[in-house]
């Protein structure tokens, strides 16, 4: 089928996967398939474009209908001729709250399925990215947090890939209608106890009503710009760190003389300290604590 005849979602996805995001030859391609509209659209679009994919579904076990949802996803995958794997969430997963616990557990489970070089596709889209930026902003995070979700990152032995971060939610909804696709509606997506739901249903619509109709697009674009700045800061630290190790060969990597820090500007001291702590795999404290250090 010619590209011009494809639905918009498939056309955008094809351009991305034939451009600078080419799936590896001979490796397994997975889709995180919740059964919701977004992951259903991604699963079907990849399948329609001819990619040999496998569906991974995580049963959280938190909702009385979760087993029924898992059966629905298995039946949908079977109807499409797509391999399906059901994973069960472990209890008592560490995290900062229910949302964070579920996210950490999902990714840990799916990471275990990936062999070297395998890819896991997830269906986060443009509005999801904008919501993440706003969440991080309200938490007072730095450049790394405001860069929100990266388009790809290591996951286990493989790679987590988000090919739809520049695709509006409406494009996915249009695709579901065009293809007459059935999908699940998770009641948690309307539960106002969750921060992300309040941002999605209250804050972003209010920004649009107040005169910013393209707020989500602008916020997501800011995340891309901040991601660039984050990479530049990381490169700057790597160069500085290499030179530091040359100049201080007798010191342990866990030792950082104050005299060296004083050769940097105050802002550069904070950037270097963040990079140094990340290098040591130590959680980076907030700005106030960095000032004390």
Band of pLDDT at residue 95, cut at 50, 70 and 90: very low
Residue 36 in contact with residue 186, Cβ under 8 Å?
yes
32 and 136 share a domain? Answer: yes
**Residue where a domain terminates, one of 153, 176, 207:** 207
**Residue where a domain terminates, one of 207, 230, 255:** 207
Q: Considering the chain, what is the average pLDDT of its residues?
A: 91
265 and 241 share a domain? Answer: yes
- Domain with 108, as residue range(s), is 3-207
pLDDT of residue 3: 57
14 and 74 share a domain? Answer: yes
**Alpha-helical segments (H) within the chain:** 8-17, 37-48, 66-80, 98-111, 126-138, 143-146, 169-178, 195-198, 204-209, 215-247, 258-261, 266-279, 287-292
- pTM for the whole thing? 0.89
197 and 222 share a domain? Answer: no
156 and 223 share a domain? Answer: no
125 and 194 share a domain? Answer: yes
pLDDT in tens, 158-167: 999 999 999 9
Residue 124 in contact with residue 172, Cβ under 8 Å?
no
**Residue where a domain terminates, one of 158, 178, 207:** 207
228 and 193 share a domain? Answer: no
Band of pLDDT at residue 128, cut at 50, 70 and 90: very high
Band of pLDDT at residue 91, cut at 50, 70 and 90: low
pLDDT of residue 35: 96
We report the CATH number of the domain holding residue 89 as 3.40.50.620
**Alpha-helical segments (H) within 199-251:** 204-209, 215-247
129 and 227 share a domain? Answer: no
90 and 183 share a domain? Answer: yes
- Specify the range with the lowest mean pLDDT, choosing from 53-62, 86-95, 253-262: 86-95
pLDDT at 186 over 60: yes
pLDDT in tens, 232-248: 999 999 999 999 999 99
101 and 19 share a domain? Answer: yes
63 and 168 share a domain? Answer: yes
234 and 179 share a domain? Answer: no
pLDDT in tens, 207-222: 999 999 999 999 999 9
Domain count, the chain: 2
């Amino acid at each position: 089928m010619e590209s011009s005849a494809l639905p918009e979602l498939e056309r955008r996805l094809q351009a991305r996967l034939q451009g600078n995001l080419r799936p590896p030859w001979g490796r397994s391609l997975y889709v995180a398939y919740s059964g919701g509209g977004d992951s259903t659209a991604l699963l079907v679009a990849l399948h329609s474009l001819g990619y040999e994919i496998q569906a991974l579904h995580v049963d959280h076990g938190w909702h009385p209908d979760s087993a029924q949802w898992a059966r629905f996803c298995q039946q949908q995958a079977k109807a499409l001729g797509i391999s399906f794997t059901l994973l069960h969430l472990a209890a008592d997963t560490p995290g900062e709250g229910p949302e964070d616990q579920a996210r950490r557990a999902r990714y840990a489970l799916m990471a275990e399925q990936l062999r070297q070089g395998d890819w896991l596709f997830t269906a986060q889209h443009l509005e999801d990215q904008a919501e993440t930026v706003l969440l991080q902003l309200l938490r007072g995070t730095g450049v790394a947090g405001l860069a929100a979700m990266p388009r790809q990152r290591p996951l286990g032995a493989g790679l987590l890939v988000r090919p739809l971060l520049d695709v509006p939610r409406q494009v996915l909804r249009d695709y579901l209608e065009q293809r007459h696709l059935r999908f699940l509606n998770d009641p948690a997506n309307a539960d106002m106890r969750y921060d992300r739901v309040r941002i999605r249903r209250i804050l972003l619509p209010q920004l649009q009503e107040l005169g910013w109709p393209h707020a989500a697009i602008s916020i997501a674009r800011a995340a891309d710009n901040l991601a660039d700045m984050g990479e530049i800061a990381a490169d700057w630290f790597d160069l500085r760190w290499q030179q530091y190790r040359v100049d201080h060969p007798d010191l342990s990597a866990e030792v950082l003389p104050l005299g060296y820090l004083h050769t940097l500007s105050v802002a550069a001291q904070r950037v270097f300290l963040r990079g140094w702590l990340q290098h040591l795999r130590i959680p980076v404290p907030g700005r106030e604590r960095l000032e004390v250090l």
